[in-house]
Structure 1
Amino acid sequence: MEYKALIVENIDGVGNLTYEDLKKKPLNSGEVCIKVIYSGINYKDNLAIEPKTKVVRTYPMVPGVDFSGEVVESLSPSFSEGDLVFLTGLGYGTDRFGGFQEYVTVKGEDLLHIPKGLTPKEVMIYGTAGLTAAMSIEALLRAESENYTLPFLITGGTGGVSSHAVLILKKLGYDVVASTRNRENEKYLMGLGADEVILFDELLEKRRPLSIEKYSGVIDATGGEAVGNLLAEIKYGGAIALSGNLAGAKFQSTVFPFILRGVSLVGIDSVQVSMAKKKEIFEKLADNYKSEKLIDILSEEISFLSLKDILLSGEKKNGRILVSFS
């Protein structure tokens, strides 16, 4: 059987994207073959098509760090033909062929069944972004502060992690301040439920080592200098959940937020998180974390055959872009 895949090659340091026909190989013990229904475009997928980022070290590669689909063949005791499944992270799309292909063969131990309450489309609206947001929120709610009277701040503007964080925190009943680099995004963020929208540039203004307590906690998907500033504004026992470096890999701070207010800086890695934890998180995303506004995060649904042009355009959109294989 032949099927189409979107493959990136490194041609003299430049990423070259082409659709190619691949042949399905026999399964090894424990492997599962999935007919892809949906995938999503993640920030890492955009990096994967640019060799200079070194996100992909071995070419050719099929990007696509997330996908959902239906099992068509299985040599894993955990999955049967017809099962609806999904996969996020674990090096797919960067270290091994990912979801931008019509059929994917993976190790059964890397798959999860789509939980009751979610469709293949909804689980990809979440994808790695939703998983990261939910893990970040759980890190904040495990912090020493149990009195969340101050709002939570979410950086990252209209990206997937930030959008999901707004939805989930509002679903749980908390006040949310969202930051963005562009006032044009205010309507989108307020529509998701943000109580206030501020400009990201405000977060770059220098603070004293300890400033007035303004936030119960911070979900930061951007990194950079804002991290050090925000540590000074988190209330006693609160935390920053840090999951990205779009705004930079370095920041300056002092020890005072940590030793005088008990503030924590928590790293969030949703790529290699345990399968047990991932299953637990997605069950919550299917239940008490699920907002009736989930579909509002979907900015566009594109066909697989238009994916190449979308990736090459580099166009940025709010929320999530899904790739449909139907």
Structure 2
Amino acid sequence: MVEYKALVMDRNEAGFELGYKDMEFRELSDGEVRVRIHYSSVNYKDRLAVDPETKVIRSFPMVPGIDFAGVIAESNAEGLEEGDAVVVTGYGFGTDFNGGFREYAEVRSDMLVRLNKGLTLEESMIYGTAGFTAALSVDAVLEKGIRPEKGKILVTGATGGVGSHAIAILAKLGFNVTAAVRDMESAPWLMELGASEVIPFSEVMPPKKPLSPVKWAACIDATGGASVASILSEIDNDGIAAISGNASGVKFESTVFPFILRGVTLAGINSVLVSQEKREQIWGKLANEWKSDVLGLLVRRRVPFGELKENLTTRQTGSGRDIVVF
């Protein structure tokens, strides 16, 4: 049997262990392909997964890595051929079953998207799960009917993967974007991505009135927590807050007034279980009209696979901005 390298999270009598191990090819089932992985990315969820205290991974051994991109090395699926470039995100890869931190992966054909010619493999993982989530958030804003002339869009968690990609996509589409950050030293970089202004995160924190003066046409919130209530109170009539993260907390306390007096929508963005049709639509836009002109600025570092263990176990800020090179 052919062997390949994988980064594996395991549990034994001594505790938990993250290390490189050899894995073997298995026979492909009907409808499966074998992908030679070229790139993955390091997401906030990946860092949580290798921390035993979080219990993100409950079954061991497990290969982390919630997304990856590569080329089909072997196909047992109709319509997919050896050499096709594909991208995989979500579906529980890296948490429920083996993910992308390995050299090869067996994947069901209905769990992958064939890459549009407008995106390279590397570019697809510069986007990765974070960029895909940001694009779903932007899509929710657009589906609500929000257009640039409607007003400012607030983006929280702006230095992270979702927030930074959201800024770049919104700027590409002509929106006036305000980035809220805890560290104002990142302001020049965020302006390069396309933010029109950068404000301290403290400006969107409670206490605020149940309904405050309108500031935002919409918000893409990647942090969660108490600030959500304040943001909702400042969104304009028929606006929307698209929320996808919980780094700042899992709870917020609000009133019904933003919803019943201004018609504000609170939309949850779940990038794990997205229909195949929607996935293909979003990746198609990222390869074409939504493709950022500043993608290179969204990469913090390219991590060789052999250095991934150290990267994962070192505390980092701005998760979703490292890509793994195989």
Q: Name the CA shift for 1:224/1:148 in 2 (closer, same or farther; >3 Å).
A: farther
8 Å contact from structure 1 (residues 63, 94) kept in 2: yes
2:75 corresponds to: 74
SS at match of 2:33: strand
1:278 corresponds to: 279
8 Å contact from structure 1 (residues 15, 49) kept in 2: no
2:270 corresponds to: 269
Q: Name the CA shift for 1:132/1:43 in 2 (closer, same or farther; >3 Å).
A: same
2:169 maps to amino acid:
I
Of residues 309-318 and 129-138 in structure 1, the stretch that sits farther from structure 2 once superposed is 309-318
SS at match of 2:72: strand
* Pairing 1:1-326 to 2, within 5 Å after superposition: 1-11=2-12, 15-143=16-144, 148-317=149-318, 320-325=321-326
2:9 maps to amino acid:
V
Query: Deviation digits for residues 243-269 of structure 1, max 9, x if unmatched?
Result: 011111110111111111000100100
Query: Deviation digits for residues 250-291 of structure 1, max 9, x if unmatched?
Result: 101111111110001001001001111010000000011011
- In 1: Cα distance, 2:272 partner to 2:189 partner: 28
SS at match of 1:62: coil
Deviation at 1:149, TM superposition (A): 3.3
SS at match of 2:290: coil
- In 1: Cα distance, 2:181 partner to 2:214 partner: 21
SS at match of 2:300: strand
Q: Name the CA shift for 1:243/1:185 in 2 (closer, same or farther; >3 Å).
A: same
8 Å contact from structure 1 (residues 179, 198) kept in 2: yes
- In 2: Cα distance, 1:11 partner to 1:222 partner: 34
Of residues 4-13 and 249-258 in structure 1, the stretch that sits farther from structure 2 once superposed is 4-13
8 Å contact from structure 1 (residues 209, 257) kept in 2: yes
Query: Deviation digits for residues 30-78 of structure 1, max 9, x if unmatched?
Result: 1110110000001110011012212111011100111000111111012
2:208 maps to amino acid:
R
Deviation at 1:92, TM superposition (A): 0.4
SS at match of 1:131: helix
- In 1: Cα distance, 2:13 partner to 2:51 partner: 11
Q: TM-score, normalised to structure 1's length?
A: 0.96
8 Å contact from structure 1 (residues 6, 19) kept in 2: yes
Give the total of aligned pairs.
325
Deviation at 1:12, TM superposition (A): 6.2
Of residues 46-55 and 260-269 in structure 1, the stretch that sits farther from structure 2 once superposed is 46-55
- In 2: Cα distance, 1:161 partner to 1:317 partner: 9
- In 2: Cα distance, 1:131 partner to 1:201 partner: 27
1:95 maps to amino acid:
D
- In 2: Cα distance, 1:187 partner to 1:136 partner: 24
2:202 maps to amino acid:
D
- In 1: Cα distance, 2:15 partner to 2:294 partner: 39
Deviation at 1:205, TM superposition (A): 3.0
SS at match of 1:313: coil
Report percent identity of matched pairs. Answer: 48
For structure 2, the 5+ residue unaligned runs are none
List 4+ stretches of structure 1 deviating above 6 A: none
Q: Name the CA shift for 1:235/1:136 in 2 (closer, same or farther; >3 Å).
A: same
- In 2: Cα distance, 1:319 partner to 1:46 partner: 10
Q: Name the CA shift for 1:47/1:294 in 2 (closer, same or farther; >3 Å).
A: same
Deviation at 1:137, TM superposition (A): 1.0
- In 2: Cα distance, 1:12 partner to 1:250 partner: 36
SS at match of 2:126: helix
2:94 maps to amino acid:
G
Q: TM-score, normalised to structure 2's length?
A: 0.96
What is the RMSD computed on CA atoms of the aligned residues? 1.4
- In 2: Cα distance, 1:13 partner to 1:275 partner: 41
8 Å contact from structure 2 (residues 33, 74) kept in 1: yes
Deviation at 1:26, TM superposition (A): 1.4
Query: Deviation digits for residues 133-191 of structure 1, max 9, x if unmatched?
Result: 11111111222556743210000131110011000100000100001111111121111
Deviation at 1:316, TM superposition (A): 2.5
1:201 maps to amino acid:
S
- In 1: Cα distance, 2:198 partner to 2:298 partner: 17
SS at match of 2:37: strand
SS at match of 1:279: helix
Q: Name the CA shift for 1:297/1:318 in 2 (closer, same or farther; >3 Å).
A: farther
Q: Name the CA shift for 1:165/1:110 in 2 (closer, same or farther; >3 Å).
A: same
Q: Name the CA shift for 1:317/1:227 in 2 (closer, same or farther; >3 Å).
A: closer
Query: Deviation digits for residues 204-229 of structure 1, max 9, x if unmatched?
Result: 13111111110010000110000011
